[in-house]
A and B are shown apart, each in its own frame.
Chain A
Amino acid sequence: MSASTNPATRTAVSVTGLRKAYGEKVVLDGVDLTIDEGEVFALLGPNGAGKTTIVRILSTLISAYAGAAAVMGYDLRGEAGAVRGVIGVTGQFSAVDDLLTGEENLLLMGRLLHLPLTARRARTSELLERFDLVEAGRQTPATYSGGMKRRLDIAMTLMGRPRLIFLDEPTTGLDPRSRQTMWQIIRELARDGVTILLTTQYLEEADHLADRIAVLDHGRIVAQGTPKELKRRIPGAHIRLRFAGSASLAEAARALPEGTRDDEELVLRVPNERGIRSLREVLARLGDDVAVEDLSIHTPDLDDVFFAVTGTASQEKNQ
């Protein structure tokens, strides 16, 4: 089915009361979410929170145990075939054919999408070019780096110009440079108006890429909002000052009464709401006389989000 016969819709994904259990183990415990067309939506959560399960359900790989979901206006239960026609999925594990060359992998996608020969070839060379795989396209993925493999994976997903893309942990296992490239790719897709649902364990990643974030914990959405809204709820950003002795700590605590004092570690944590400006101010208020042994800036991470919305750390919940 081509996208043009699709009923006009403003909502890309609509999910209500989604539940899934494997035997006794509840994986999704009533998830509701709505993603608008053209939006980049991030599902943020630790391993085992249910992120991948949501992606697998929405991409028709597995069925939910209860609840309703529509993707691009098509019902997941009754119109799975139509859903498959408009989505693209890049899973956590490499979904490239290791015995075919990069180029053959793309051509294979083109054949499976029933593109005519010329369109297949044109789109293949366009994607190889765009993802910097022209040279590598003649070789099998066995010779590729992790980043190259992931790029080929995404290119295969884009072969059919899907309007909605699922990216399950697109940067997990990538080196910092490949991660930057992947972020760039995702931003470009968003600019083209593609709706993206991505999952991630990193608040930083969700913050950089997403219009909206849902925090998932134990199969439930525990917080939802724009990165700004979410970060406002996190008290995690602070400047950490460590002192040589309790005398200087006491002196600093007097100068910065908003700070939280830890006498055992000789540490003072001062909220850092305005970045560099806060830092300058803190140093100015401390003056030249208080000897600071060590200073570090702490930015909120997934643990802080978790602590803020659930009251427990993510690692503990992991088990």
Chain B
Amino acid sequence: MSAVTIAAQDSATMLWREIKHSIRLLRLLIVSVILVPVVMLLLFDYILGGTLGHGLGDVARGAPYIDYLVPGILVMTVAGGCGPTAINVFMDMTGGFVDRIRTMAVTRGALLAGHVGVSVLRMLVATAAVTGVALLLGFRPKASLADWFAVVGIVAAFSFGLAWLSAAIGLVTKSVAGANGSTLPLSFVLPFLSSTFVPAESMPAGVRWFAANQPFTAVVDSLRALLMGVPAGNTPYVALAWCGAIALVSYLWAQAAFRRGTR
């Protein structure tokens, strides 16, 4: 067997292990990665949506607020998957199990690859589930089939970037609370400081520039344009570039942190 075949096989094994883990923790995961975004969707659509929708004016292009909101909620759903991933990686690094793996002739990167792979899968499943709920609540996308493919591609790329970032966070934190806490800016702060709920242009001058230029806004804006069937311009490319950059930097960070674990 070649090294590549073995690496693929080991990664697949670790993926299998993480899928088993996810199934064992299913109820917990449903609450944290699906229920939370659904509650945010209900909160912002039913409770705040009336006023927010009025305030949008022309930006909404005459559509109800839910059509503006859902792309942002989908991005929040992806970001909501960061906490479980960081916690899982942290837990794996602290137990004796990782030492066992390290004393075996197992491809070095397989463990992290398994975590990241399943993290992406979880984020995609959660995003699909939340999209389903949104459709039931009255979300009416006008995307073409090609647009849908682009949406899935961007969501997958964003998931991939954030999965590596969460894995790196899980590797460098010192406690479960730290692993979870360190992902909160991703799942709660950055979405609010982006075009998730309201356009960046409507924000006070101090945060406006940040909100307009941070990765969440690029991703939300491109998904929004694609789902609404309006010209997206170059935002999808900006979004993909951000996803690629996040994935690359996080990957290198995670690899360095993983190696540092072996002293």
Chain A interface residues toward B at CB < 8 A: 1, 59-63, 81, 84-85, 87-89, 91-100, 104, 108, 111-114, 140, 156-157, 160
17 A-B pairs with CB atoms under 8 Å apart are: A1-B105, A60-B102, A61-B99, A62-B262, A88-B103, A95-B95, A95-B97, A97-B17, A99-B21, A99-B25, A111-B16, A112-B13, A112-B104, A113-B105, A114-B6, A156-B100, A160-B104
Q: Taking the complex as formed, is B27 at the interface, i.e. its CB lies under 8 A from any CB of chain A?
A: no
Contact B100 A113 (CB under 8 A): no
Q: Contacts A59-B103, A61-B102, A99-B20: A112 and B97 contacting too (C-beta < 8 A)?
A: no
Q: Which of B83-112 contact A (CB under 8 A)?
A: 95-97, 99-106
Q: Which residues of B contact A92 (CB under 8 A)?
A: 96
Q: How far is the CB of B133 from chain A (nearest CB, A)?
A: 28
Q: Which residues of A contact B10 (CB under 8 A)?
A: 112
Contact B96 A113 (CB under 8 A): no
Bound CA–CA A62/B263 (angstroms)? 5
Bound CA–CA A220/B23 (angstroms)? 48
Q: How far is the CB of B109 from chain A (nearest CB, A)?
A: 14
Bound CA–CA A100/B104 (angstroms)? 19
Q: Which residues of A contact B100 (CB under 8 A)?
A: 89, 91, 95, 156-157
Specify which of A94, A99, A112 is in contact with B24 (CB 8 Å cutoff): A99
Interface of B is mostly: helix
Specify which of B96, B101, B105 is in contact with A85 (CB 8 Å cutoff): B105
Contact B102 A93 (CB under 8 A): no
Interface of A is mostly: loop
Bound CA–CA A96/B6 (angstroms)? 23
Assign chain B's interface to a size class. Answer: 20 to 34
Contact B9 A114 (CB under 8 A): yes
Specify which of B13, B21, B96 is in contact with A111 (CB 8 Å cutoff): B13
Q: How far is the CB of A196 from chain B (nearest CB, A)?
A: 15
Q: How far is the CB of B4 from chain A (nearest CB, A)?
A: 14
Q: Taking the complex as formed, is B136 at the interface, i.e. its CB lies under 8 A from any CB of chain A?
A: no
Contact A87 B21 (CB under 8 A): no
Contact A84 B103 (CB under 8 A): yes
Contact A84 B104 (CB under 8 A): yes
A109 and chain B: residue at smallest CB distance: B104
Bound CA–CA A1/B105 (angstroms)? 9
A-B pairs with lowest CB-CB distance, top 6 = A95-B96, A95-B100, A93-B96, A111-B13, A84-B105, A89-B103
Q: Which of B14-69 contact A (CB under 8 A)?
A: 16-17, 20-21, 24-25
Q: Which residues of A contact B17 (CB under 8 A)?
A: 97, 100, 108
Q: Which residues of B contact A87 (CB under 8 A)?
A: 103
Contact B20 A100 (CB under 8 A): yes
Q: Which residues of A contact B105 (CB under 8 A)?
A: 1, 81, 84-85, 113
Q: Contacts A100-B17, A100-B20: A60 and B96 contacting too (C-beta < 8 A)?
A: no
Q: Which residues of B contact A99 (CB under 8 A)?
A: 20-21, 24-25
Q: How far is the CB of B225 from chain A (nearest CB, A)?
A: 41
Q: Count chain A CB atoms within 10 A of each CB in B10, B21, B24, B102 and give the residue with the most.
A: B102
Contact B99 A91 (CB under 8 A): yes
Q: Which residues of B contact A89 (CB under 8 A)?
A: 99-100, 103
Q: How far is the CB of A4 from chain B (nearest CB, A)?
A: 15
Bound CA–CA A99/B96 (angstroms)? 14
Q: How far is the CB of A56 from chain B (nearest CB, A)?
A: 8
Contact A95 B104 (CB under 8 A): no
Q: How far is the CB of A5 from chain B (nearest CB, A)?
A: 13
Q: How far is the CB of A110 from chain B (nearest CB, A)?
A: 9
Q: Which of B129-145 contact A (CB under 8 A)?
A: none
Q: Which residues of B contact A113 (CB under 8 A)?
A: 104-105
Contact A60 B263 (CB under 8 A): no
Contact A96 B25 (CB under 8 A): no
Q: Count chain B CB atoms within 10 A of each CB in A59, A61, A62, A88 and give the residue with the most.
A: A61
Q: Count chain B CB atoms within 10 A of each CB in A59, A112, A156 and give the residue with the most.
A: A112
Q: Taking the complex as formed, is B205 at the interface, i.e. its CB lies under 8 A from any CB of chain A?
A: no
Contact B263 A94 (CB under 8 A): no
Q: Which residues of B contact A111 (CB under 8 A)?
A: 9, 13, 16
Q: Taking the complex as formed, is B146 at the interface, i.e. its CB lies under 8 A from any CB of chain A?
A: no
Q: Taking the complex as formed, is B189 at the interface, i.e. its CB lies under 8 A from any CB of chain A?
A: no
Q: Taking the complex as formed, is B1 at the interface, i.e. its CB lies under 8 A from any CB of chain A?
A: yes
Q: Which residues of B contact A100 (CB under 8 A)?
A: 17, 20-21
Q: How far is the CB of B246 from chain A (nearest CB, A)?
A: 28
Q: Count chain B CB atoms within 10 A of each CB in A62, A87, A94, A97 and give the residue with the most.
A: A97
Q: Which residues of B contact A97 (CB under 8 A)?
A: 17, 97
Bound CA–CA A98/B95 (angstroms)? 10
Q: Which residues of A contact B9 (CB under 8 A)?
A: 111, 114
Q: How far is the CB of A296 from chain B (nearest CB, A)?
A: 39
Q: Count chain A CB atoms within 10 A of each CB in B20, B21, B95, B100 and give the residue with the most.
A: B100
Bound CA–CA A274/B21 (angstroms)? 57
